Amino acid sequence: MRGARFLAGLMLAMAFPAMAAAQALQVTGDAVAQSLTGSAGDPERGRAIITDRQKGLCLLCHSGPFPEEPLQGNLAPGLEGAGSRWTEGQLRLRLMDNKRVNPESIMPAYHRIEGLNRVGSAWRDRPILNAAEIEDVLAFLMGLKAEKAP
C-alpha cells in the first residue's frame, strides 16, 4: 500500500515536473513522521505564510498570536498551543490532508491535489502549499506551545 502511494506520487511528479506536485503521504497511525523536504522548516517563513491571506489563508478561519493582524476568523480552533496539542508528525498530516483524520473537516487539504472538484484553472494540479512551505508552517506552529498553568 505504501509502495503504491509512493509510486503514485512518483508518477504525479513525472506528470508535472515543473510544478511542486503533492508528495505521496507516508502515514503511520495519524501522523506523517518524515519531513517532506528531509530537513526542518523555517519558522519565520512559516509565520509569513500563515499571515498571508492569499497564501496560507489560515487566519480566514483560525485566530492566532499575530497582534498586527486585526481580522482573524473564528470558524476553527485557535492556533495557540498547537505545538502542545500535536506531535510534529500528527500536525504534518493535519496540514497536508486533515480530511484523512476528519472527513467532515472544513480545513482544505494543503498538500493534496487529487479528489477535488472543479478546481479553477489557475490552481489546478498544484497543492495549496508545496513541501517546503508545509515544513515552514509546521516549524512555526510547533513553536506555539501552550502556556503552563500558573
Binding site for other proteins (CB under 8 A): 53, 57, 59-61, 70-75, 99, 106, 108-109, 116-123, 128
- Distance of closest approach, residue 89 Cβ to other proteins, in angstroms: 23
- Distance of closest approach, residue 77 Cβ to other proteins, in angstroms: 13
Candidates 23, 27, 59, 29; CA nearest to 135 is 23
Q: How far is CA 53 from CA 18, 31, 69, 71, 142, in A?
A: 25, 27, 10, 10, 21
- Distance of closest approach, residue 62 Cβ to other proteins, in angstroms: 10
Cβ closest to other proteins, residue 17 vs residue 70: 70
- Distance of closest approach, residue 87 Cβ to other proteins, in angstroms: 25
- Distance of closest approach, residue 33 Cβ to other proteins, in angstroms: 25
Give the max Cα distance, the chain: 54
Cβ closest to other proteins, residue 124 vs residue 145: 124
Cβ closest to other proteins, residue 71 vs residue 149: 71
Cβ closest to other proteins, residue 57 vs residue 132: 57
Q: Grid coordinates representing 112? A: 493534496
Residues 6+ away with beta carbon under 8 Å from 48: none
Look at the alpha carbons of 74, 77, 83, 88 in this order and tell me if their dihedral is positive or negative: negative
Cβ closest to other proteins, residue 115 vs residue 150: 115
CB atoms within 10 A of CB 103: 7
